[in-house]
Amino acid sequence: MHELSLAEAINKTVKELCARSEWVRVRRIVLKVGHMRQVDAELLSFAFDVVAKGTVSEGAELSILELPIVFRCHACGKAIGGEGTTFACTNCGSTNVELLSGMELTIESMEVESQQVL
């Protein structure tokens, strides 16, 4: 289950971000995930709940925005959005394509709480 590996990586990155900015609690994380990553959103959320226990992200909601695969074909010049994960142009069949989107694994934004100043 690579969702567990990804959840651990997300949790580690969020922890570092919080330590740097003195955020004490994370309520929500918006994550962009490219289709190439083959992430099961439900599994990832579940895995994240588990690994986030006892950290600043405990109980945080993980919102996953899935991004489709988009190619540019160098043979016919078209930009092609693919359903599957094959690297061939659906217009002309060329494999001379460049991946424009689909490999993302990015924390887009977070809802955080800072230290209470009394």
Partner 1 sequence: MSEIVTIQQAVMAEDEKYAFRVRESMREKKILAVNIIGSPGCGKTTLLEAMASRTDFSFAVIEGDLETSRDAERLATAKIKALQINTKGLCHLEAHVVEKALSSLDIDSLDVLFIENVGNLVCPAEFDLGEDFKVAVSSTPEGADKPLKYPMLFAQAKAVLLTKMDLLPYIRFDKEMFLRDVRSLNPKAPVIELDLLSGTGIEKWVSFLSERLREKRAHAV
Pick the stretch among 32-40, 45-53, 56-64, 68-76 that binds Zn ion (CB under 5 A): 68-76
Q: How far apart are CA 118 and CA 115, in angstroms?
A: 9
Q: Name which of 2 and 53 has its Cβ closer to partner 1.
A: 2
Q: How far apart are CA 112 and CA 25, in angstroms?
A: 6
73 binds, among Zn ion, partner 1, none (CB under 5 to 8 A by kind): Zn ion
Give yes or no for residue 13 binding partner 1 (CB under 8 A).
yes
Bridge partners, 63 (sequence order): 30
Task: Determine which residue in the list 10, 44, 47, 73 makes contact with partner 1, applying CB under 8 A.
Answer: 10
Q: What Cα–Cα distance (Å) separates residue 10 from each residue in 29, 70, 88?
A: 10, 24, 31
Pick the stretch among 14-22, 47-55, 73-81 that binds partner 1 (CB under 8 A): 14-22
* Token digits of residue 46: 């579940």
Give yes or no for residue 89 binding Zn ion (CB under 5 A).
yes
Given a contact cutoff of 8 angstroms between Cβ atoms, the answer to whether 33 and 66 are in contact is: yes
Given a contact cutoff of 8 angstroms between Cβ atoms, the answer to whether 109 and 23 are in contact is: no
How many residues bind to partner 1 according to rule CB under 8 A? 35
The residues of the shown chain that bind partner 1, judged by CB under 8 A, are 2, 4-6, 9-10, 12-13, 16-17, 21, 25, 27-28, 31, 36-38, 84-88, 95-96, 105-114
